[in-house]
Structure 1
Amino acid sequence: MQSLWAHEYHTMKKQIITAFFTVLAISFATAQKKKDAQVSKLYQNYIAIKSALASDDAGKAAKSASEFVQTASAMKSNTIPAKNLADLKNEASGIAKTGKIASQREMFHNLSNDMYALSRQFIFSDKPVYLQYCPMAEASWLSNEEKIVNPYYGNSMLTCGTVKSTIK
């Protein structure tokens, strides 16, 4: 009789442990992304840089990058880890300091990668955000519209690229 009780006890213990880890796994998988007004503003600054590069406007890209740096500098220190924030500011500062659109586009590649990483933690917009990719540049960028407007080649290849995913 006691071995039957011990068997049922161990079976129930396994079921409870399995249920606990299942609930834990589901909660991690469905963890809510945070919504933060400062991060949303940072994303809007990023979109302004993207649009300027797509328009072949180095001056406007530099101005938009400066605004990005200002927004990043005003962020609360606990919003984004310090290293990530420093990387974002350095990349945008580089875009702001150079007047050469080719250099700006190279720096935009890293800025885009870091913004994409940030999109996994934060909601940038109430509307979908599109991860787009240009095979010629071998680089991705984020967009607030599904239509391809390529920041890496501007008017010379404005519609080159594809939507890789939609971030909601």
Structure 2
Amino acid sequence: MKKLTILLLIIFSAALGTVKAVTPALTEDVNNVIKNYLALKNALVIDNAPVAQACAATLLAAISTVSDKEMNAAQRKTWLAYADKLSFDSRHISETTDIDHQREHFANLSVNILAVLKALKLNTATLYKQYCPMKKKYWLSEASAIKNPYYGSKMPTCGETKETLQAVKL
């Protein structure tokens, strides 16, 4: 019986070591990434490559401020798997005003940011995963109304909402 009690204490202690409380700073940093991603998306919607370029630079800076120290093990694993990918695409968008090239990187950025947000579960606003059937690409939006960043003013309402990421109550 004593061995069982010791074993249970060891298991309980190990479990406590992997669970961390979500801190306001981590939540704020992740939501700042979301805010800057959405600003980039909105610049692409209105076909404004210079603004998209600036938004991508701000997004890149926001990504670099997210610290994995306050994340639990599962969150950290996901963040470490995707942070460089998010930075790569943000950097490429920030280095050009070629809107077609920006949109190519935005597609990868969108897939990766969606994976991160689903794993971290720190978005404080409802987000909509939307899909452009013409480009076969996804993006996230703060509104359920379709505003297509891949076609911009050419086909602004092309797409559909595929999924809703509910705001997390912390």
TM-score (structure 1 length as normaliser): 0.76
Residue 44 of structure 1 pairs with residue 35 of structure 2: yes
Aligned to 1:110: 108
In terms of mean alpha carbon deviation, does 59-68 or 121-130 score higher? 121-130
Match of 2:16 in 1: none
* Rounded Cα–Cα distance in structure 1 between residues aligned with 2:126 and 2:80: 27
CA distance in 1 between partners of 2:68 and 2:123 (Å):
21
Q: Any residues of structure 2 matched to 1:75-114 within 5 Å, and which?
A: 75-78=66-69, 79=71, 80=76, 81-114=79-112
In structure 1, list runs of 5 or more residues that go unmatched: 1-33
**How far apart are residue 37 of structure 1 and its match?**
1.2
Q: Deviations over 1:98-129 (max 9, x none)?
A: 11000000000000000110121234543321
Count residues in correspondence: 135
- Which residue, out of 118, 121, 129, partners 2:119? 121
Q: What does the per-residue CA deviation read over 1:40-73, in whole Å, with 9 as the maximum and x for residues that have no partner? A: 1001000000000000000000000000011111
Report the identity percentage: 33
2:51 is paired with a residue of what secondary structure? helix
CA RMSD of aligned residues (A): 1.5
CA contact (8 A) 1:40 1:123 kept: no
> What are the residue-to-residue correspondences of 1:10-49 with 2, within 5 Å?
36-49=27-40
CA distance in 2 between counterparts of 1:123 and 1:58 reads 30
Highest CA radius of gyration, 1 or 2? 1
* Structure 2: segments with no counterpart, 5+ residues: 1-21
* TM-score normalised over the length of structure 2: 0.75
